[in-house]
Chains A and B, each alone.
Chain A
Amino acid sequence: MLFSAAWSVFAKDLLSELRTRYALNAMLLFAASTAVAVSLGAQFLGTRRDDETFLLQSALLWIALLFAALNGLSRSFVQEEETRTALALRLATPPIAVYLGKLLFNLVLLLALDVVTSLLFMIFVRVQVENTGLFISLLAAGSLCLTTATTILAAIIAKASFKSALFAVVAFPLLIPPLIIVIQGTALALAGAPWVDGLLHLRTLLSYAVATFVTSLLLFGFVWEA
């Protein structure tokens, strides 16, 4: 029943998003404009192949993903509060199902953004990925970290004034640790480092995601019904 309700929340959010494109358009536009701006402003990034350049490419990719995510991932909860549909949802749906549905929706949205942004960086910035498996794993693990942290934060700030500013301010300290790790790990994947070199980064990211997920599960009921 709980998972079925969570799936229904996810399906509803997906259908709503496909019809309104509140988050999708903003996220894609941000990712595309970042990739184009970087390609025009820092053309040397596509021609040099050294450790510093890999780190720069990785940092720029994750900055694009972070800001696109901050633009879009809070929408699922903010939209419910702004359109006042949260009341109907609160009365009909178990809180954990709401959280899981929104988390899954944000994760799917961010994974889609990962694919688009990575392709844009490969085309415009001429980023070359040497260890594709590690790169994809780090993208997925990094996105999981971003999603678990931003979903509970979005639920917290949805009822506040100045939501966008507050979201960025509250998210900043929570997202910096996984971002540092995923930027370093992604640079390794771009350089073609073996899997064993990226495993520590992957483990740390997954530990962060699990810790944030479990904490969110414990807290969400209080946040949602506050």
Chain B
Amino acid sequence: MNNILRLDLHNIAANYGARRVLQQITLTLRQCETLVISGVNGSGKSTLLRLLSGLQQPASGTIHYHYQGTCYTPRQAMHLLGWVAPDLALYRELTGRENLRFFAAVRGLQRNDTQLDELLARVGLAGRGDDRVACYSSGMTHRLRYAYALLHDPPVLLLDEPTVTLDESGVAMVTRVVEMQRTFGITVIATNDVRELCFGDYVLTLDTA
């Protein structure tokens, strides 16, 4: 079972202009494992998550997802990845349910309104699916990001600042999501919050040196 899903990073480096923010990151994660990346502001936590999601290219090194016998680069692995981050924005002029319906459609998923409502309820947005995202609070918007990320039941979940802007019930929701993900997939969490270090089987600490 542990060979179905694997994430390999080999000698990863990332630059912003002349400034190198990450170097020599090599690690392997297997199914049912959770990695927490911690470090001070500017140490490259979010950058590493963007590299893992394919939104940014490494300056050197390779990232590969191995899933059910096939090897994918991050850009080929869109269907395997769920990404939650403060800079992930959804369509403010659409309702929460319309956002999810749209992203399900472009992913080629068949999701009816009942299933979408169940997902919204799972992230704590029951009864708010018909409200436009522009009317959501920052915490509710963050919950909707989880619904977006979990829509296709991704085996790899990438969480950047997972509990930022969330209240206690929101933190509990994130804990449930991470625990559920631990039963079948890989989770990578980038955080500054020491309370979230306990999510990880491994902790990778980055510094700016």
Contact = CB atoms under 8 A, between A and B. Distances in A.
Interface of A: 1, 4-5, 8-9, 11-12, 15-16, 19-20, 83-85, 87-94, 97, 225
A contact patch SS: helix
25 contacts: A4-B108, A5-B105, A5-B106, A5-B107, A5-B108, A8-B105, A8-B106, A9-B106, A15-B93, A15-B94, A16-B93, A83-B89, A83-B91, A84-B88, A87-B88, A88-B89, A88-B103, A88-B148, A91-B53, A91-B54, A91-B83, A92-B78, A92-B148, A93-B106, A225-B75
B174 interface: no
A225 B55 CA distance: 8
A90 B89 CA distance: 12
Contacts of A88: 88-90, 103, 148
A8 B102 contact: yes
A16 B203 CA distance: 42
Interface string B68-88: 000000010010010100011
A12 B55 contact: no
B153 interface: no
B106 A84 contact: no
A92 B55 contact: no
A161 B167 CA distance: 37
Closest 6 pairs (CB-CB, A-B): A8-B105, A84-B89, A93-B106, A5-B106, A1-B108, A19-B93
Contacts of A83: 89, 91-92
Contacts of A92: 78, 103, 106-107, 148
Contacts of A15: 93-94, 98
The residue in B78, B87, B106 that gathers the most chain A C-beta atoms within 10 A of its C-beta is: B106
A74 to B, nearest CB: 18
Contacts of B87: 84, 87
Contacts of B53: 91
Nearest to A221: B75
Interface of B: 53-55, 75, 78, 81, 83, 87-94, 98, 102-103, 105-108, 148
Contacts of A93: 106-107
Contacts of A94: 106
Contacts of B88: 84, 87-88
A90 B53 CA distance: 10
Contacts of B98: 15
Given A5-B108, A8-B102, 13 more contacts: A8-B105, A12-B91, A12-B94, A16-B91, A83-B89, A84-B89, A87-B88, A88-B90, A91-B83, A92-B78, A92-B148, A93-B106, A94-B106
A49 to B, nearest CB: 47
A87 B55 contact: yes
Contact of B81 (A19, A20, A89, A91): A91
A58 B107 CA distance: 44
Contacts of B106: 5, 8-9, 89, 92-94, 97
A1 B78 CA distance: 15
B125 to A, nearest CB: 17
Contacts of A89: 106
A91 B98 CA distance: 17
B94 A16 contact: yes
A29 B187 CA distance: 50
Given A91-B78, A92-B78, A4 B105 contact: yes
B102 A12 contact: yes
B13 to A, nearest CB: 19
A85 B102 contact: no
Contacts of B148: 88, 92
Nearest to A84: B89
Contacts of A11: 102
Contacts of A1: 108
